[in-house]
Amino acid sequence: MSDPAGTDEFQEASRPGSGEVTATVIVNAPAERVFAAFTAWERQSDWVPFTRVRVVQGDGGEGSLIEAVTAIGPAVLRDEMRVVRVDPPYEVGVVHCGRLLRGPGVLRCTQMDRDRTQVVWHEWFHLPGGAAGRLAWPVLWPGSKLSLTQALKKFGRLVEQGRLP
């Protein structure tokens, strides 16, 4: 799998890349419940399309290695993430440290009132393909933003319905 935290390769993956995408949703639920639903890693398969998520190492907390495999027909994308920060119920940080997807990501929960939480999901990917990847990003970004936003909206609905965690 991936290099453990502390190696040069992991440190490189930890630096923000130029492919930046953010999604935000308001969830009608307390931050504690929203945070617990997000960190129920295997349940992300319920709201991230075409994706199966599992904990490969650890208990899902800080230091754990999470694997998300997205398959659409014959195309398969494996995303390996090291959990680098867990601050319940406010923030969880990961570093995507696989071969293709690399860079930090963070999910923040902000309690707005007793039963409403703003969720912000932010990713800073290293773009593969050098200059070609940087040129392609403006074309790919809208699809990335849309898919992240739609997944987060589905997540919010499932939390509100009591179907997550």
Whole-number Cα distances in Å, 52 to 46, 49, 87, 121: 9, 9, 25, 19
1 pLDDT more than 60:
no
Q: Is 130 within 8 Å of 102 (Cβ atoms)?
A: no
In Å, what is the CA distance from 45 to each residue of 127, 139, 151?
24, 26, 10
Residue with tokens 């809208």: 142
| pLDDT, tens digit, 9 for 90 and up, residues 19-72 | 889 999 999 999 999 999 999 999 999 999 999 999 999 999 999 999 999 999
pLDDT tens digits, 94-112:
999 998 889 999 999 999 9
